[in-house]
Amino acid sequence: MTLEVPAGKLDAPDEDPLYCATRELSEETGYQAEHIEKLTTIATTVGFSNEYIHLYVAEGLTPGKQHPDEDEFINVVKVPLDEAVQMVLDGRIYDAKSATSILLVERRLRLTK
């Protein structure tokens, strides 16, 4: 079991990553976002795969009904950002996309203060 930010694969090679992020947020958490902004794109395993993951931050969240895929078993957990950063730093969150997203959001908020 891992603690991760919402994520998923593009349904087609030409699917808009923003659309995919919006869809996955809704499916996995039930939340709808007022605003979604791209953070960055990362290569998952350079030298082994050509996979890229597009990372987004969602703001202005409104709760709704979760509707995951049949093979997904997801428990939504809310973690304050400061705690999530600490969890990355001490290794409790070790999923690369999640760690990167959390640290980028924290830096973004720190720089806008």
Q: Sketch out the chain's domains with CATH numbers.
A: 17-112 (3.90.79.10)
Mean pLDDT score, 27-46: 96
pLDDT tens digits for 60-89?
Answer: 999 999 998 888 899 999 999 999 999 999
Q: How far apart are CA 10 and CA 41, in angstroms?
A: 14
Question: What pLDDT score was predicted for residue 72?
Answer: 85
30 and 66 Cβ atoms separated by less than 8 Å:
yes
Question: What pLDDT score was predicted for residue 95?
Answer: 96
Q: How far apart are CA 58 and CA 71, in angstroms?
A: 25
Catalytic residues, by residue number, are 70
Give this prediction's pTM. Answer: 0.93
Question: What pLDDT score was predicted for residue 109?
Answer: 93
